[in-house]
Structure 1
Amino acid sequence: MSLLADVLLMFITIVFPPFGVFIISGCSVDLLINIALTSLGYFPGVIHAFYLEYVYMQRRDYGIIEPFEPAPGVYSDVINTGGRQAYGAIVVEETIVA
């Protein structure tokens, strides 16, 4: 994503936190948790949504070291991997011979 897309995502999250979480995680447990937190109060939902976006953007920008450690309180693989989730892909390990 570009900087403009990130700023737009943050603006959407400020207006309606569950929609911002839905954009990055899809329909997941994190979305249900955010809906519950937002229904309890606006600020808990916003804080949770920004935390999820922080983890997502950090892992997207810096890459993942396999095996990755799930972030505390994040249950979506899409967020934990920074959007690099490859469903059904075959991972082939390369061996370097010196």
Structure 2
Amino acid sequence: MNKLVLILIAILLPPLAVFLKHKAGKDLIINIVLCLFFYLPGILHALWLITR
């Protein structure tokens, strides 16, 4: 999938972007927990996973 599209999805729906990039796994669980506590850490985690 195009990296720019994934970045846009990561800003709007971080768990969806992580799922599209890495499928279900520990990264998705971590991102969901971060989004539940506060939205910004979830966005940063998703962007970090997509761009690395």
Task: State the TM bucket, normalised to the shorter chain.
Answer: over 0.9
- Describe the SS at the equivalent of 2:31: helix
Aligned residue type for 1:36? V
Higher relative contact order (CA 8 A, sep 6+): 2
- Structure 1 unaligned segments of length 5 or more: list them: 56-98
Q: Give distance in 1, aligned partners of 2:4 and 2:49.
A: 15
| Number of residue pairs matched by the alignment | 52
Alignment of 1:31-42 (within 5 A): 31-42=28-39
Find the counterpart in structure 1 of residue 45 from structure 2.
48
What value does the CA root-mean-square deviation take over the aligned residues?
0.9
Rg (Cα) greater in structure: 1
- After TM superposition, what 4+ stretches of structure 1 lie above 2 angstroms from structure 2? none
Richer in helix (by share): 2
Find the counterpart in structure 2 of residue 25 from structure 1.
22
- Structure 2 unaligned segments of length 5 or more: list them: none
TM-score of the superposed pair, with normalisation by structure 2: 0.92
Q: Give distance in 2, aligned partners of 1:7 and 1:51.
A: 13
Q: Give distance in 1, aligned partners of 2:15 and 2:30.
A: 9
The percentage of counterpart residues that share the same residue type is 38
